[in-house]
């Protein structure tokens, strides 16, 4: 009987030891997982901040390039309008009135484009907009619209004297 009791006691102690050690490992694993999750959350937050900064820098760099080329285009358009005014001065009186009105209209549109460019530049440099992927897309849309308007103006300048040439 003593041997049976001894075996039973040893089996109970061993089972208890095994069960206790399994619980301890599970708790350690759970705390390690919690630490890993905390680290991952911090990494994600830092990654989001880095992406935001990179996007912001990319939008600013793209804007500077676009702004420089747009200013040159506006100045070229101004020069073309001034050259047209010289040609208009040589036209007869009936045509002079019509062409002057069209040149004034082109000049006004050029001034509006210049104002639009300045306003957009202030928004970007003052960080009025949150810089993310949608801001980048919005910037591309603005650039396409602006370039389209400039192309239309260039075509209008070329066509101003087209129907007068005989």
Local confidence pLDDT in tens for the 166 residues of the chain: 667 666 667 777 666 666 666 555 566 666 776 676 677 667 666 766 666 667 777 777 888 888 889 899 889 989 888 888 888 888 888 888 888 888 899 899 989 989 998 888 888 777 655 666 677 788 888 888 988 988 888 888 888 767 544 4
Whether 75 maps to a domain, the answer reads yes
* Residue 88, domain extent: 54-166
Instruction: Name the DSSP class of 127.
Output: T
Q: How many structural domains does the chain have? A: 1
Q: What's the rounded Cα separation, in Å, for the pair 36 and 30? A: 10
The token pair that represents 129 in the structure block: 């907009």
Structural domain contains residue 109 = yes
């Amino acid at each position: 009987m003593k041997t049976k009791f001894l075996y039973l006691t040893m089996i109970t102690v061993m089972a208890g030891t095994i069960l206790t050690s399994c619980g301890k490992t599970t708790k350690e694993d759970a705390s390690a997982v919690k630490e890993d999750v905390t680290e991952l959350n911090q990494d994600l937050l830092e990654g989001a901040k880095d992406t935001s900064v990179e996007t912001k820098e990319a939008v600013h760099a793209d804007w500077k390039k676009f702004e420089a080329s747009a200013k040159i285009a506006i100045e070229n358009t101004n020069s073309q309008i001034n050259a047209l005014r010289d040609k208009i001065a040589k036209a007869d009186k009936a045509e002079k009135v019509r062409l002057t009105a069209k040149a004034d209209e082109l000049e006004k549109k050029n001034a509006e484009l210049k104002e639009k460019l300045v306003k957009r530049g202030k928004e970007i440099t003052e960080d009025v907009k949150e810089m993310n992927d949608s801001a980048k897309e919005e910037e591309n849309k603005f650039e396409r619209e602006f370039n389209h308007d400039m192309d239309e103006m260039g075509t209008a300048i070329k066509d101003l004297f087209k129907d007068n040439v005989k």
